[in-house]
Amino acid sequence: MMMRFDLHTHSSASDGSLAPNELVHRAAPGIQVLALTDHDTTAGIAEARAAAQQAGIHLIPGVEISTSWGGRTVHVLGLGIDPENPVLQAGLQRLRVARHRRAEAIGKQLAQNGIPDALAGAQALSQGQSLGRGHFARFLLQRGYGATMGEVFQRFLIRGRPGYVPGEWAQLGEAVAWIRAAGGQAVIAHPARYGFSSLKMLRLFEEFKALGGEGLEVLSGSCREDEAQRFAQQARKHGLLASCGSDYHGPEDPRRNLGKMPSLPAGCSPIWQHWPLAPK
Ligand code: AMP
Ligand code: MN
Ligand code: MN
Ligand code: MN
C-alpha cells in the first residue's frame, strides 16, 4: 500500500491546538508517517511517540527551528532528530528564552496600545510551553480584537503592527548544526512564504546546502500547484531532497488539513528515500 506522509505538524507543545496524542489519533489511519515539528521545542514528542505506537503509525521526531536569514525569519525543520541530544536541546532552550523575552516586549507594546494583560493571557494559553505569537493571537481573538486568527495577526502581530517585535533567532548555520548533531535532516520549511526574490531564494538554497542542509519542503499546506512544481525543479537543481507537510495547527484552521496533500511532483527524490520504514 502507498504510504501517506505528513512531515510538518504542530501540537499544544507550541502553537498547535491539539495535544500531541490527539494530533496522532486524528492523523491515523489516513497518514502512516507523521512528523511532529513544534516551534523550538521537542516537548511533545514522547507523548506523540506513545500514541503513534498505539495507533500503529510511524512518528518521526521533529522540530521547526526559527532562524534569521536575509533580514527575515526562515523556518528550518529538523526531521528524524534525537530529542535527547544535548547540543540540540541547548540551542532550543536558548530560543525559548528569546521567545520569552520577545513575549514580554510584545505584552508591553500591546499595553501601550490600550490592550492590557496580553502577556499573562498568552502565557495562560501556552501552559508553559514554547510561547509564541499564536498564543497572543488566540488571546486577542478571545478578547474580541478580531474575528479570525488571520485578522488579529494582520492587525497586531505582523511586521509594522503594534504588537510586532522581531525575535532573536538562531543563525541558519546554527540551526543546521544542531539538527545534524542530533542525527536529523535539515529541511527549509514553506519556501513560498518568505517573499524572497528568485535570486535571494537561490542564495538561500546554496548557503543552506553548503551548511549541510538536505531538504526543501516542496509541498506545504498552503502552497499552490505551480509553486510546488517550481520548488520541485529547484530542489532537483540544488541536490535537495523533497519533503511534504501540511503545517497543521489544529482543526480551527480550515485551510490546512492534516495529511491532505497531493503526491510529490514527478522526479523528486523524497527526503524519506532511505528511511527504514516497515509497512504499517
Ligand atoms: P512565532 O514563531 O511565535 O513568531 O509565530 C509564528 C507562527 O504564527 C506561525 O508558525 C503561524 O502558526 C502563525 N502565523 C504567522 N503569521 C500568521 C498569519 N498571518 N495568520 C495566521 N497565523 C500566522
Ligand atoms: Mn505556528
Ligand atoms: Mn513555519
Ligand atoms: Mn510550522
Q: Is 190 in the pocket of ligand 1 (CB under 6 A)?
A: no
pLDDT digits (tens, 9 = 90+) for 121-161: 999 999 989 999 999 999 999 999 999 999 999 999 999 99
Pair (56, 20) in one structural domain:
yes
Compute the chain's Rg from CA coordinates.
18
CA of 37 to the centre of ligand 4 (A): 7
Pair (178, 57) in one structural domain:
yes
pLDDT digits (tens, 9 = 90+) for 175-193: 999 999 999 999 999 999 9
Nearest CA to ligand 1 atom 14: 134
Pair (178, 220) in one structural domain:
yes
pLDDT digits (tens, 9 = 90+) for 257-276: 897 778 899 889 999 999 99
Looking at ligand 1, which atom is closest to the CA of residue 131? Answer: 3
Domain around 133: 99-157
pLDDT digits (tens, 9 = 90+) for 97-125: 999 999 999 999 999 999 999 999 999 99
Nearest CA to ligand 1 atom 12: 134
The total domain count for the chain is 2
d(CA 42, CA 83): 6
Taking phi over 0 as left and psi of -120 to 50 as alpha, with beta for the rest, 31 belongs to beta
Pair (111, 84) in one structural domain:
no
Identify the residue whose cell numbers are 540544488.
238
Nearest CA to ligand 1 atom 22: 150
Residue type, 89: Q
pLDDT digits (tens, 9 = 90+) for 202-243: 999 999 999 999 999 999 987 888 999 999 999 999 999 999
d(CA 234, CA 201): 10
CA of 133 to the centre of ligand 1 (A): 6
Taking phi over 0 as left and psi of -120 to 50 as alpha, with beta for the rest, 245 belongs to beta
Query: Which residues are CB-contacts of 256 (< 8 A; sequence separation ≥ 6)?
Result: 221, 222, 246, 247, 248, 249
